[in-house]
């Protein structure tokens, strides 16, 4: 059972909200977040802009290929990812990544620091402004959500805020084609997310499943307008395994499926180590950048990029 939390409780009864969040994070690692402050028209605009991008010719999208970008930005073509690295299945989806927005003359960009590059953009009117407006809004919501995490773990309310000032957060728009009927195909292979939390908005088309510990694959229900929120491996590591990062997957949908994922990773130089009060550390300290790079390197598989130089 995946619980439904209301953002109204975050502001009206924060203790109860934190308790419910903590229970969900310890049990399934997933919950639905309803009544949140992200405007519905902004969500609709992101879906519309995503449709415009994915409708572009292959050769136009290839110019923005993520394989040409060392900072995890740009277009991931169909067949370029394998989230379940144990099955040999190749994900049947395409995606586009937007990172923390920096200017080309930012000293960190010039220095080539990890995950400190510029975003790449298609030549579509309004695309950049729409994506950045959504990125900023959900970034702010995600940081506020960590106030409830801190309360649940008996930490100061603002404990996590300094770790997410300029995060390695990624906004990812995704498109899954309808199932082809071929045996063994998968939309997105079974995996856990890499970061702290993920906020996912879907278009209502089914396919997302979660596998709680000791349980079987279960469909994630759709609540119109609600985010699907899940704990990532980074926060599981940070909490010394008090919170659980739960495997999930996307089955090939019956009809075309679209989703908008926001993955919140910490600042590159944040040290991820066992939080105070969580007992003897099960993992050595690691920077946010080193941890994310280790996970991404295991995900991307070489794939030809039509029209792009390699």
Domains of the chain and CATH, by start: 4-297 (2.60.120.330)
Pull the structure tokens for residue 206. Answer: 């089914």
* pLDDT one-digit tens code per residue, 133-157: 999 999 999 999 999 999 999 999 9
Query: Quick check: pTM over 0.75?
Result: yes
Mean pLDDT of the region 109-119: 91
Locate 116 and state its tokens. Answer: 């400190």
Strand partners, 191: 248
Q: What is the pLDDT of residues 9-34, one digit of tens each?
A: 999 999 999 999 999 999 999 999 99
H helix or E strand, kind and range, residue 289: helix 288-297
Q: Tell me what pLDDT residue 185 has.
A: 92
Whether pLDDT at 36 is above 50: yes
Angle at 112 between CA 93 and CA 70, to 5 degrees: 15
Token couple for 119? 């975003």
Task: Find the angle CA(283)-CA(265)-CA(12) to the nearest 5 degrees.
Answer: 105
Residue 86 has pLDDT above 80, yes or no: no
Q: Are strands 4-6 and 30-34 parallel, antiparallel or unpaired?
A: parallel
Q: Smallest Cα–Cα separation from 238: which of 152, 135, 109?
A: 152
What pLDDT, on a 0 to 100 scale, did the predictor assign at position 298? 66
Average pLDDT over residues 77-104: 89
Question: Average of pLDDT values for 274-284?
Answer: 96
């Amino acid at each position: 059972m995946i619980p439904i939390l209301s953002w109204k409780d975050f502001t009206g009864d924060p203790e109860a909200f934190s308790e419910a969040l903590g229970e969900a994070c310890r049990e399934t690692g997933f919950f639905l977040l309803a009544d949140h402050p992200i405007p519905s028209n902004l969500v609709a605009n992101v879906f519309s802009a995503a449709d415009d991008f994915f409708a572009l010719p292959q050769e136009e999208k290839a110019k923005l290929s993520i394989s040409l970008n060392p900072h995890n930005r740009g277009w991931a073509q169909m067949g370029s990812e394998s989230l379940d690295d144990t099955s040999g299945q190749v994900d049947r989806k395409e995606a586009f990544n937007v990172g923390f927005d920096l200017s080309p003359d930012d000293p960190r960009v010039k220095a080539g620091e990890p995950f400190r590059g510029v975003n790449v953009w298609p030549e579509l009117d309004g695309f950049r402004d729409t994506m950045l407006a959504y990125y900023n809004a959900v970034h702010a919501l995600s940081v506020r959500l960590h106030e409830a995490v801190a309360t649940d773990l008996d930490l100061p309310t603002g404990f996590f805020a300094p770790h997410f000032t300029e995060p390695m957060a990624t906004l990812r728009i995704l498109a899954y084609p309808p199932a082809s009927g071929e045996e063994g195909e998968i939309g997105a292979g079974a995996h856990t997310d890499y970061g702290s939390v993920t906020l996912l908005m879907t278009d209502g088309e089914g396919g997302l499943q979660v596998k709680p510990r000791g349980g079987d694959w279960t469909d994630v229900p759709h609540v119109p307008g609600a985010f699907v929120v899940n704990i990532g491996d980074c926060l599981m590591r940070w909490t010394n395994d008090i919170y659980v990062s739960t495997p999930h997957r996307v089955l090939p949908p019956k009809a075309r499926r679209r989703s908008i994922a926001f993955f919140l990773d910490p600042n590159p130089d944040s040290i991820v180590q066992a939080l105070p009060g969580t007992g003897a550390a099960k993992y050595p300290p690691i920077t946010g950048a080193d941890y994310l790079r280790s996970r991404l390197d295991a995900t991307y598989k070489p794939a030809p990029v039509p029209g792009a130089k390699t």
